[in-house]
Every structure is written in structure tokens, then in C-alpha cells.
Amino acid sequence: MADKEKYLRIQNVVKKFGDFTALKDVSLEIEEGEFICFLGPSGCGKTTLLRAIAGLDIQTSGQVFQAGRDISALPPSERDFGIVFQSYALFPNMTVSKNVAYGLENQKLEKSQIEKRVRELLETVGLPEQGEKYPAQLSGGQQQRVALARAIATSPGLLLLDEPLSALDARVRVHLRHEIKELQRRLGVTTIMVTHDQEEALTMADRIVVMNDGVIEQIGTPIDVYRKPECAFVADFVGHMNFMNGQVVESDRIQIGSQQLAAKTNGHKPGQAVQVAFRPEDLVAVEDGDMNNAISVNLKDIEFLGSFFRADLTGGDLGQSTINADFSINLSRRVNLEKGRELKIRVPADHIRLFPMEG
């Protein structure tokens, strides 16, 4: 009974291209109205999974259910979705209005109904005056808005976005991702977006599906994926992460370099070699003399990044290892952040994560 409540259900999907397996037994459930991001590096299988859902590349085995209906073998024309591609895929010889009306005309609606709907859609995506222009007369951001209007014109149950913002410059991308998220909320349409841009996924998604090498590594909210990565790949791919070789000393105690630190060992046994991971922004420069979970380091280099400084730290308790720490502008006013100086850095136990050693 619970399965019927899921709007989209992907069950044991495998996709092979000759001898290459692009999707390896992938299963996933998506609630109605959710905004899901498939996130991962090039070649991880995220676009292949999107195309299997759309019926553009039918899976080799496994099933896809939408709104309780098995759509596994249906052609794209018989599936209920709208799609937006990275390349916009607008018809260059048609006006903006004609592009948006394309799917509506296939539904055999009356001309007056189509014209009214097109006006509403262009208003919705912020292009009310652009209907008579051709795609080549619009900016990249405007073209992508037209593609979005065309995709939602028929009020599909599912909206698929294949790297829709990657061809745009940074400022337009930031603005448009906010607009897309607002539009999705307003329409309540279940949406899946493929991206390799972690910032896009973190700011837009209700849940992120992190993929690598044809499998799902982790599914979770942006905060969970960032704060509680379940494997070293996710920790490394989402955000910036420091990794050091370490060893579990005893329950809730580890050794890195020449220093022992408190940390949640979560089932790792004493004597076990582990990868110790923590984020640069979680490190705290000791100013109050409190050396609880602190290490001595040398400031090797420092880089100004606008709202904060990123420091390269090495030596001291770290030995030859190098880690990064992010320091606020306010801290730099209080503490002398000169290259070569020694610092004491606190590593909060709650922010240390341990992963098995690879290989």
C-alpha cells in the first residue's frame, strides 16, 4: 500500500550500452511535488537515469512506475512529462509563442485557448513582451525561460531538467535557479534535475541523489548530504573536505599525526586504520586558551576569497600532512594570520567523520 503513495518509483533499473553498464540495479522513490537533484560527476549515470524515466533510452531491465502506472516500456509520447535540455532545443524558425504553443497544438485545443495559455505562460516565466521574437533574438537566459514555459505548457505531472543552467553565465545561472525553484513550488510539479554543480543541488533540491559509477551513493536532504556524508566519495564530491589518515585508538578516540582527538568512532574498532574527514569551515582558531581537541599547526599559505580566508595548514601535530581551514574576516582582524606563524586549531568532535581506508 505504501508503494502506491510514491509518485515515481524506479525499481532495480539496469542500463547497458554494449559491454558497458551505465546503471547498476538502481532503485529510487520520489514523492509527489518533490524537487529532486541527480548529482554526480560526468559519466556517473545521472543523465542515463533521467532518459530512462523519460523513455528516451529504455532501460535494459527493471521497472519505472509513475502515479501507480507501469511506464517501463512506454514511448516518450505516452508518458506524462515535460523536459528541458541544456541546449534549450527550441525551434529556431518558430517565434517564442509558437515554440511555447507546440505541445498545446498537439492536444488539438482551440486557437483561443492556446493563445490564452501561451500568454499566461510567458507572463509566468517573465517574458510577456517576447512572444513575437525568434529564439536567436533572445539571450541564453531568456531562451531557457522559453524552454521552461514550453515544458510546463501541457501541465505535465513530471518535469525533467537535464543540466538546464550549465550553458549560462554565473550571474544568470544564480538568478534563474531561484526562479525555477519558485516556479516549481508554485506549480507543485514533481521535478527531477540533473546537475554536476553541487551548489545548484544544495540550493534547489528537497532531496539530492548522489550518483557515482552507475550507482546511488546517498539520498538525503541537502543538509544531510553535506553534513552527514555516508561515504568518502560523497564527502569529497559535495563541498570541500579535508582527509587525513588516522587510526582508532579506543571507543570515541582517534589518532591523527602526533595528536589524539575525541571523535565519534561509530563502530570502527580500536587499531583500525581510517580516513578522518572534516570541513575547513568547522575548524576553529584557538583564541581563549581552550586546548580541548586542539592541534598545533603552521600557517603555510593563505588565500583571500572575499568573505573569508582559506588557509593551508601543515607541520606541528600534522607532520607532513596539509589541511585547509576557512577563517572569517573578523578573525583575521583579531588574530595575526601571517605565513609561517604557529596556530592552535580546535577540531570539534561532532564534525569529525570517519570512513574506512580505501583499497
Task: Express as a percent the part of the chain with pLDDT over 70.
Answer: 98
Per-residue confidence (pLDDT) for residue 4, from 0 to 100: 53
Cell numbers at 216, concatenated: 546511488
> What is the arithmetic mean of pLDDT over 100-107?
89
Are residue 144 and residue 79 in the same domain, yes or no?
Answer: yes
Query: From CA 221, how far away is CA 133, in angstroms rounded?
Result: 40
Angle between helices 111-124 and 140-152 (to 10 degrees): 130
- Calculate mean pLDDT across residues 155-179: 92
Minimum mean pLDDT among 220-229, 268-277, 329-338: which range?
Answer: 329-338
Q: What are the phi and psi torsion angles at 158 (to 5°)?
A: -135, 130
Nearest of 349, 355, 155 to residue 260 by alpha carbon: 349
Q: Supply the pLDDT for residue 106.
A: 82
The mean predicted confidence, pLDDT, of the chain is: 93
Alpha-carbon gap, residue 167 to 84, rounded angstroms: 13
Are 203 and 286 in a shared domain?
A: no
Domain count, the chain: 2
Q: Which among 170, 203, 236 is the end of a domain?
A: 236
Distance between CA atoms of 29 and 11, rounded to whole angstroms? 8
Residues 58, 60, 66: CA angle, nearest 5 degrees: 50
Strand partners, 198: none
Question: 301 and 230, same structural domain?
Answer: no
Co-location of 172 and 294 in the same domain: no
Q: What angle do CA 151, 153, 158 make, to 5 degrees?
A: 55
pTM of the model: 0.92
Q: Are residues 32 and 100 in the same domain?
A: yes
For residue 19, the model assigns a pLDDT of 96
Ranked by mean pLDDT, the top range of 2-6, 105-109, 125-129, 189-193 is 189-193
pLDDT per position as a tens digit, 7-41 = 999 999 999 999 999 999 999 999 999 999 999 99
115 and 84 within one domain: yes
SS3 state of residue 146:
helix
Q: Do 256 and 128 reside in the same domain of the chain?
A: no
Q: Which helix (H) or strand (E) holds 100?
A: helix 96-106
228 with 259, same domain: the answer is no
Q: Do residues 224 and 257 both lie within one domain?
A: no
**Do 28 and 125 share a domain, yes or no?**
yes
Give me the domain span that covers residue 334. Answer: 242-356
Any long-range contacts for 320-326 (C-beta under 8 Å, 24+ apart)? 321/244, 321/245, 321/256, 321/257, 323/242, 323/244, 323/280, 323/283, 323/297, 324/240, 324/242, 324/280, 325/280, 325/283, 325/285, 326/280, 326/281, 326/283
Quote the pLDDT of residue 6.
92
Pairing of strands 259-262, 308-314: unpaired
* pLDDT at residue number 116: 95
pLDDT at 249 over 70: yes
Per mean pLDDT, which of 29-38, 166-175, 253-262, 303-312 is the most reliable? 29-38
Same domain, 122 and 175: yes
The vertex-309 CA angle with 304 and 311, nearest 5°, equals 105
The pLDDT of residue 294 is above 90: yes
Q: What is the mean pLDDT of residues 283-307?
A: 90
pLDDT at 122 exceeding the cut of 80: yes
Q: What is the pLDDT of residue 289?
A: 77
Nine-digit cell string for 45: 549515470
What's the average model confidence in pLDDT over 291-303?
93
Question: Is the confidence at residue 288, as pLDDT, over 90?
Answer: no
Vertex 135: Cα angle to 179 and 114 (nearest 5): 75
pLDDT value at 62 more than 70: yes
Among 177, 210, 236, identify where a domain stops. Answer: 236
3-state DSSP call for residue 124?
helix
The CATH number linked to 340 is: 2.40.50.100
Residue 119 has pLDDT above 50, yes or no: yes
* CA 102 to each of CA 53, 115, 160, 255: distance values in angstroms, whole numbers, following the listed order: 22, 11, 18, 63
Domain endpoint, select from 218, 236, 254? 236
CATH number, domain with residue 165: 3.40.50.300
- For range 235-246, the mean pLDDT: 95
Phi, psi for residue 314 in degrees, rounded to 5: -155, 180
Per-residue pLDDT reduced to its tens digit, 67-103: 999 999 999 999 999 999 988 889 999 999 999 999 8
Phi, psi of 42 (to 5 degrees): -55, 135
C-alpha to C-alpha distance for 48 and 182, rounded to whole angstroms = 27
